Chain A
């Protein structure tokens, strides 16, 4: 039961988003906070650029030998007493997890933050099977209360202001005294923690995502700032790790390389507050931990990206820096993208996962400013990959007809310099004459997409080339 994409309605989504004053206020924080914090973290670490290159090379190496590392990982999970399940599709992944929960008679499931669980629509599947799914990350908890999806891959509720969250808490947490002060984020966190404490204790199964899966030890690693992941994975009887296949790294050392670039790129921290490893179920000598340990590895379209021009995208470590630095994301927020993954990484990944027919707007809705690529810790050439989607759309005639014909006519002239010169000289001198008083056009029938929002400067007169040739001739005389 995957989330139904509203990506085909991207333009309408964006239109709504631009007119939502609360959203626009909340987005102001993305533009300020994240960028400045990342910048100062990077400046504190002189070798950061080298680390990015090493991180890129490491992920490329893993992707070349993914089968090998997946097998090693599986062997080591089994050796530590856990089980590994491979799921080809979201449906298979949901079914596997629901079955594990059912086989343990689970009623309540706690969850750490996991984007792949959003991708496969896991909460819906758990609830459809008659169990309760409780998100324990504060941001995820908030959007679950509101029946929303995350709008950012590391800050799921970044589209909300704290005033909106207070209203939701008062609506759902009916035990709250009206006089209780909830005006500061930390007070909201304390309140959520109070409510979640009982949920942690009641849970039968805890599900976490994974930032990295370590092949040599069979461990999964999560990073959090709230510690909710630790309680999710150590208190219940059953721990399920859900992760997509590209999360594998060969060794702990490799994981540390990626950890060094991850938090700095994401939140500007040197390290997240909690970095937690889990390896199999509790051993006899362990004071606590789950009795059962399962890993569900999700493919869901990723292996089909291997060996294609989109393979680079599988290097992504989900830090969110690309969206934090994206002018389009800043303008419209994450929900407008219409599916799980927003921003530049979503613009490349979404068409890979739901098809370019549905996701086609996203790689087009970019100015190609390149800021995403310049901050990506694993150096994914995001604009280039978006362009590859545009190429696929063009080849398959999915590009809108107006644009196709426009390009065709323009291409015809551009390839015939003689005709081009005649046509442009006529057009420019006419336009220059029409715009001679104002120096600009406030509305032009064929350029409405432009003139609806801004004026079109009028040309100065004849073309540069024509004027240049004229001057050369005069100079020779």
Chain B
């Protein structure tokens, strides 16, 4: 923690999808962090480099990893509203560098980088949020957050403190939604088969609102749900936890607002 202030300086890595498609998630994340006593900074940023890394382009992945580490060097913590991008920064940045100095730097960076919800619960020891949501919701465990970072109980624990909210579990909430980054476009037909199973499970749960912690997965599921004309809303979990559900749900028109 920096000596000048008692509040931890948290660099918000919005993730490129939130930056471009759904800024409201970034503001929800900032509110949650500020409510928990953090000073939030948003250094100029683009992308964590995961698309390059997963496409086999290590050189670009390295360049972007260095760019992120430079941009956030003045922060006590780096926090992202995404298990997938956090997984890239925590698990994969250190794999990108063979040079001892850089590898050490990447490991140190990884050590202070967290996914938003688990940062609130595990680091800041937040046990409840000030938010209200009347109705039932179901939660999808995005793969990287779940399997790379062990995020499963944390969002459920905080959702349980949202007034009026009832969490109903869908079947196979821990199974992939078929997004997989560029996979969704490269192997669209297979991805479609996977997301179709997922939205069926969402429907069966009976919850009118689907939540998850990764915008990529959310855009995939929301895009399928609207294509199937299902009456289910889709939002990032941070929006509900922050009590910021004023914007229309993902992929929904304005009048669909509850």
Report which A residues bind B (CB closer than 8 A): 11, 14-15, 18, 327-328, 330-332, 364-371, 373-374, 387, 389-395, 399, 403, 407, 410-411, 413-415, 417, 420-421, 424, 427-428, 437-440, 442, 447, 449-450, 452-465, 467-469
Contacts and interface: CB of A to CB of B under 8 A. Distances in A.
Q: DSSP class of A's interface residues: helix, strand, loop or mixed?
A: helix
Given A327-B176, A369-B180, A390-B56, A332 B190 contact: yes
Contacts of A414: 16, 46-47, 49, 52, 60, 64
B250 A371 contact: no
A450 B183 contact: no
Interface stretch (B2-10, B105-113, B142-150, B159-167): B142-150
Interface hub of A330, A367, A427 (most chain B Cβ within 10 A):
A367
B55 A457 contact: no
B182 A440 contact: no
Interface stretch (B114-122, B131-139, B218-226): B218-226
B243 to A, nearest CB: 18
Given A14-B189, A440-B226, A367 B179 contact: yes
B47 A460 contact: no
A425 to B, nearest CB: 9
A389 B52 CA distance: 14
A469 B52 CA distance: 28
Contacts of B189: 11, 14-15, 18, 453
B39 to A, nearest CB: 12
Nearest to A384: B95
A414 B55 CA distance: 15
Given A368-B54, A403-B55, A465-B45, A327 B187 contact: no
B193 interface: yes
B53 interface: yes
Contacts, number: 212
Contact of B194 (A327, A370, A410, A465): A327
Contacts of A464: 14, 18-20, 22-23, 25-27, 42
A410 B226 CA distance: 28
Interface string B8-44: 0000001010111111111100100000000000101
A449 B184 contact: yes
B221 to A, nearest CB: 9
Interface residues of B, number: 72
Interface of B: 14, 16, 18-27, 30, 42, 44-47, 49, 51-58, 60, 63-64, 67, 71, 143-144, 147-148, 175-176, 178-195, 197, 219-220, 222-224, 226-227, 247-248, 250-254, 256
Given A447-B185, A455-B223, A455-B226, A411 B26 contact: no
Given A403-B182, A439-B248, A467 B23 contact: yes
Contacts of A424: 19-20
